[in-house]
Structure 1
Amino acid sequence: MPVNAVAENVLGTMGAICWTVQLFPQIWKSRKHKSTEGLSPYLVLLWGLAAGFLGAYTLLLNLNIPLILQPQLFGVLSLVSWGQCQFYGAKRSRAVAIALTLALMLLVGGFEVAMVFALRPALDAGSEAGKRGVQFLGIFSAVLISLALIPQYVEIWRHCEVIGISVLFMLIDLLGGLFSDLSLAFKDKFDVIAGVTYTTVVVMDALVILAAVILNPRAEKRRRRAGAPHREEEATATALSSRT
């Protein structure tokens, strides 16, 4: 595709907006039902950690501002969701869950800043070691983002349906990856590693959505035949009773 700075920034901004709001449906869903059953804490934890690697990568390569902001927002919201898993799922106190979440945010942020300061001089000097270091950050973030969804697939397999995780969250996340991918296509040089990362998000999110479309109606039919309550209503009741 021809270089188009306007298209690059517009699509990048659309991707950033999607990845800014993507986790709000998930955070709201967990808060509403007072439960994170079915949501793997490893998913949001690994995504939060991956944001440190991807954030340093985008800063070092000086990608457009929306793509630089994406991993920062992505990481913060992922760790907020992880904090909910600690509170609702692991039954930690509110103070402990907040303290753990803030500590992880500081750790990831500190790592990101350290990587930028450590690799910037070598990268500016054209050092091969600096280039390899930046590539490692990008590749490792893609690996973490991919691996993070495996525990969620295990949760889906265990429950035989998609519960706990918001399908709207997955859809917005998918769109964020798609818009970000398209924005890279209008750069003067396509960033392969960032492209692989965004494409991985699109594919793996799509698998979760597909599982929800196929498995959830079947599970609901089984519950209706058995006269059982809706799974999330049951989870909400259980969570409320455990807090009282």
Structure 2
Amino acid sequence: MQKNDAAANAFGIIGTLCWTLQLLPQIWKSYREKSTKGLSANLVLLWGLVGIPLGIYNTIQGNGVILVVQPQVFGVLCIISWAQCQYYDRRRSVAWCAWALAIIFALFVGLEAGIIFALRPPYERGERSADIALRFFSVLASVMLALALVDQYVEIWRHRAVVGVSLAFIFVDMMGGVFCDLSLAFQGQFDPWAGVAYTLVTVMDAVVLIAAMILNPRARRRKRRQQDADAERRSGSISLSDNTAAQEARGKEPTVTPMEGTDEKDRVQPESA
């Protein structure tokens, strides 16, 4: 495709906005519900750490400022979502979560910056070992993205529905991958290594959305049937209790035993209770 810097930057900005804003619905959903049930903590942790190899690759490869910034923002928001998983579902303290965030962010910045400064000079000199190392980081990012979503697939299989995950988050994430691919396409020479990572995210996100469209209606029908069955059991239990109480009340009605020598017509009839 012919190089078009304006289109590459425009699609890159849109992709970055998608991958920046995508986690906000998920973070807000977890905060509002005070729960991250159904959201894989491994998913958001691995996605957060993907920012390291993807940031290294995009920075050294020179894929544009937008695609360099995008993994950093994406990684930070993913790690925040991971901290929510620790706080809401694993009952970690606020202090524990704050220390964990600080340590992870420090390692994130230090590791990425150190590798970039170490790898860029030999890569610019055209050394083969540096080129192989750069390809390794691209493949590593793709593998981490795939593994993260596989863990979410396990959560979907376990619940037989897509729960705990904001579908808006998944959809925007998918579109972020599409626009990042388009940004690469308009840079003149498509970078297949970076493209694999973005395309993999797009396809695997689409699988989650398709699973939600198929499994979530089934889960709602199962829930309604269960609620109807519970209501019928409660109704039957109440009716049985009422019948038992009525029978006991009838069994306690007072009777008067007629005295000897009393005619049948003179017998005192019992009054109703």
Q: Which residue in 2 is equivalent to 1:83? A: 83
Q: Which residue in 1 is equivalent to 2:25? A: 25
Unaligned runs of 5+ in 1: 229-244
Q: Which has the higher contact order (CA 8 A, sep 6+)?
A: 1
Instruction: State the Cα deviation string for residues 177-226 of structure 1 (Å, max 9, x = none).
Output: 00000111111211001100000000000011111111111101111111
Amino acid at match of 1:207: V
TM-score (ref. length: structure 1): 0.92
- 2:52 partner SS: helix
Q: Which residue in 2 is equivalent to 1:215? A: 215
Q: Which residue in 2 is equivalent to 1:191? A: 191
Equivalenced residues, count: 228
CA distance in 1, matches of 2:25, 2:102: 21
Match status 1:227 vs 2:227: yes
TM-score (ref. length: structure 2): 0.82
Amino acid at match of 1:141: A
Q: Which residue in 1 is equivalent to 2:151? A: 151
Instruction: State the Cα deviation string for residues 55-78 of structure 1 (Å, max 9, x = none).
Output: 111111111111111100110000
Question: Which structure is larger by alpha-carbon Rg, 1 or 2?
Answer: 2
Q: Which residue in 1 is equivalent to 2:51? A: 51
Amino acid at match of 1:70: Q
CA distance in 1, matches of 2:56, 2:87: 29
CA distance in 2, matches of 1:18, 1:188: 23
Alpha carbons 1:146, 1:200 under 8 Å: kept = yes
Divergent runs of 4+, >6 A? none
CA distance in 1, matches of 2:43, 2:131: 29
Q: Which residue in 2 is equivalent to 1:108? A: 108
CA shift for structure 1 position 110: 1.2
Instruction: State the Cα deviation string for residues 102-131 of structure 1 (Å, max 9, x = none).
Output: 211211221111110110111111100111
State, as a whole percentage, how many aligned pairs show the same letter: 48
CA distance in 1, matches of 2:153, 2:206: 12
Q: Which residue in 2 is equivalent to 1:237? A: none
- 19-28 or 93-102: which moved more? 93-102
What's the C-alpha RMSD, in Å, of the aligned pairs?
A: 1.0
Q: Which residue in 1 is equivalent to 2:175? A: 175
Amino acid at match of 2:126: G
- 118-127 or 75-84: which moved more? 118-127
CA distance in 1, matches of 2:6, 2:209: 31
Q: Which residue in 2 is equivalent to 1:8? A: 8
Amino acid at match of 1:115: I
CA distance in 1, matches of 2:95, 2:174: 33
Instruction: State the Cα deviation string for residues 11-50 of structure 1 (Å, max 9, x = none).
Output: 1110011011010011011111100110010001111111
CA distance in 1, matches of 2:8, 2:45: 30
Alpha carbons 1:36, 1:164 under 8 Å: kept = yes
Unaligned runs of 5+ in 2: 229-273
Amino acid at match of 1:167: L
Alpha carbons 1:82, 1:101 under 8 Å: kept = no
Q: Which residue in 2 is equivalent to 1:121? A: 121
CA distance in 2, matches of 1:83, 1:168: 20
CA distance in 1, matches of 2:31, 2:220: 22
CA distance in 2, matches of 1:101, 1:209: 30
CA distance in 1, matches of 2:91, 2:188: 50
